Amino acid sequence: MVRMVAIRQASSHPMLVDDIVQKVFVDLAAEAFRMKSEIRIAGWLHRHTCFVASNLIRSERRRVARERKAVAMQDLEGDSADWSALEPQLDATINELPELDREAILLRFFQKLSLRQVGQSLGVSDDAAQKRISRALDKMRKLFSRRGISVSSLALSSALANVSLFAAPLGICSGIATNALATAGLTGGASLVTATLASTIMTKMALITSIAAAGLGIGGTYLVSQKQIEVRDQEIIELQSQLEETDAKVASHQARIDEHKEVEELKLQDRRELMKLRAELSRRRQEAAAEPLSSVAPPTKRNAGAPIPGTNSLDHEDEVAQSGYSPRDQWQFEGFAEPEAAFKTAVWAMNEGDLESISAAWTDEYLATRAAEFSGRSDEEVVAELKRDIEMAEGLEVTNVQTVSSRETIVDLEIRGDNVPPQIQARMKLVGQEWRFDGWVQ
């Protein structure tokens, strides 16, 4: 049964029938001890025979395809290797090409230049140089065809790419140097210089030809184009110059950035100093206003029993009953020495809508967070948004100050007003020697 299934499956490859049968029974022997008792051998053999036949046929087709590809490559190599037929007609064919096509072929295949260098020599791009070379090869193929030589463009390109530049014979260089010096007709005191120069030239030429001959002995002549070396050296010099210019620009930009940072820091310090002066001026004004009212009260505080001029005494007593309460119309700059004072300063700055005062009263981290929220808005819109946060508050009272660490505290607040949370907490952080507002505690 297995053989009949194999014959049917491999009808297009009858040489594989025996291999299929052998593979099936080898797999059966290997799998027999793992097969369950309920498996029917006939069904397993039929299904596995089909499976093995499919795999072997697929492998055979791939092998045939690889062999055909190898044969095609050998045919191509045989075509490109027929240099003996091309060589006698090569120079005449090249001379029949248009000037630019001839120049492209000589630069690419005889001077061994890259496509970029060919394009630079012809004044065109790399792609244009490649297309011109391809058109020139096609024209050469047609010219060879007129001479009875059939060759493909690919084979012609391969043949030209393998053209070897043979070194001159060993004796010709020294002979040329000697004859050139003898023709110069040098006499007298110059004869010693002439002889030395001739000896030096002949020695160097002999060394060069010896190296070239050694190169031929190990498989070919390797000649280095001095022009290519000079071009690459020039490119390296240009790149180094560009690198130096880039470094100078980077250093200049970095210096500007550092200078800008210093200016911003000075501006911030100036704003803080200005706010301190405002606080000092406000304090002295309060002292001057409090002196005629009571000589017993502290210089910076109003006597709790003294009424405020222009207000009802009962209203005043109700107001001052809350010792820490600060109505909205009395918010003012109170400095940054203590967390409570720094918070009141921050609230005053938001109420005033002074962005410089706000930036001086907030920490850099909280300022960056709110700046990201206000991205794309004008200063007027930002001020309106900040005022909206506190516009419903009629006043506030600091009820407690919790110490989190030596550089952080939480200020507990009681807010009076409509549609505002009655209690809220503010985070304060110590920056240097001064406290800053770091946002609300969620």
The mean pLDDT value for 34-53 works out to: 85
The mean pLDDT value for 251-260 works out to: 86
3-state secondary structure labels for all residues of 223-286? CCCHHHHHHHHHHHHHHHHHHHHHHHHHHHHHHHHHHHHHHHHHHHHHHHHHHHHHHHHHHHHH
- What pLDDT, on the 0 to 100 scale, is given for residue 291? 64
Residue 286 pLDDT level (bands cut at 50, 70, 90):
low
Region for residue 377 given its phi and psi (left: phi exceeds 0; alpha: psi -120 to 50; beta: otherwise): beta
Q: In terms of C-beta density within 10 A (0-12 exposed, 13-18 middle, 19 or more buried), how is residue 82 classed? A: middle
Q: How far apart are CA 290 and CA 39, in angstroms?
A: 109
Asked if pLDDT for residue 427 goes beyond 90, the answer is yes
Tally of CB atoms within 10 A around 37: 4
pLDDT in tens, 294-340: 444 443 433 433 443 444 434 434 443 344 688 888 888 888 999 98
Name which of 290-294, 380-384, 386-390 the model is least confident about: 290-294
User: Can you tell me which residue has the tokens 């001890």?
Assistant: 33
pLDDT in tens, 392-412: 778 888 888 999 999 999 998
Tally of CB atoms within 10 A around 362: 22
CB-based contacts of 184, cutoff 8 Å, min separation 6 = 194
Among residues 396, 377, 398, 397, which one has the least CA distance to residue 386? 377
Asked if pLDDT for residue 55 goes beyond 60, the answer is yes
- What pLDDT, on the 0 to 100 scale, is given for residue 39? 78
Residue 225 pLDDT level (bands cut at 50, 70, 90):
low
Percent of the chain clearing pLDDT 70 (strictly above): 73
The mean pLDDT value for 59-72 works out to: 81
- What pLDDT, on the 0 to 100 scale, is given for residue 435? 92
Question: DSSP states of 356-401 as a string?
Answer: HHHHHHB-HHHHHHHHHHTTT--HHHHHHHHHHHHTTEEEEEEEEE
When the pLDDT of each residue in the chain is averaged and rounded to a whole number, the result is 76
CB-based contacts of 150, cutoff 8 Å, min separation 6 = 144
Q: In what order do the strands lie in the sheet with 434-440?
A: 325-327, 393-405, 408-417, 423-431, 434-440
Structure tokens at 289: 């206003």
Q: In terms of C-beta density within 10 A (0-12 exposed, 13-18 middle, 19 or more buried), how is residue 436 classed? A: buried
CB pairs under 8 A, 24+ apart, for 215-222? 216/166, 216/167, 220/164, 221/164, 221/165, 221/166, 221/167
Asked if pLDDT for residue 413 goes beyond 50, the answer is yes
Asked if pLDDT for residue 203 goes beyond 60, the answer is no
CB-based contacts of 163, cutoff 8 Å, min separation 6 = 109, 110
The more confident residue out of 377 and 286 is 377
Residue 289 pLDDT level (bands cut at 50, 70, 90):
low
Q: Which CATH architecture has domain 83-161?
A: Orthogonal Bundle (1.10)
Dihedral, CA of residue 330, residue 333, residue 334 and residue 336, to nearest 10: 150
- What pLDDT, on the 0 to 100 scale, is given for residue 71? 64
Q: How far apart are the first and last CA of the chain?
A: 82
The mean pLDDT value for 232-258 works out to: 85
Query: Distance between alpha carbon 354 and the CA centroid of its chain, in Å?
Result: 42
- 3 state SS of 46: helix
Percent of the chain clearing pLDDT 90 (strictly above): 14
Q: How far apart are CA 415 and CA 413, in angstroms?
A: 6
For domain 2-79, is the CATH number 1.10.1740? yes
Query: For the chain, which residues make up each domain, given as ranges?
Result: 2-79, 83-161, 170-184+191-223, 312-440
Residue 384 pLDDT level (bands cut at 50, 70, 90):
confident
CB-based contacts of 328, cutoff 8 Å, min separation 6 = 351, 393, 394, 395
Asked whether this chain's domains 2-79 and 83-161 adopt the same fold, the reply is: no
- What pLDDT, on the 0 to 100 scale, is given for residue 353? 83
For domain 312-440, is the CATH number 3.10.450.50? yes
pLDDT in tens, 160-201: 877 644 444 545 555 555 555 455 444 444 444 444 444 444
Angle of CA points 225, 228, 229, to nearest 5°? 90
The more confident residue out of 397 and 389 is 397
Q: How far apart are CA 416 and CA 54, in angstroms?
A: 87
Name which of 253-267, 269-283, 369-383 the model is least confident about: 269-283
Q: How far apart are CA 52 and CA 55, in angstroms?
A: 5
Note whether 397 and 414 are within 8 A (CB).
yes
Asked if pLDDT for residue 98 goes beyond 90, the answer is yes
Among residues 359, 341, 340, 339, which one has the least CA distance to residue 349? 359
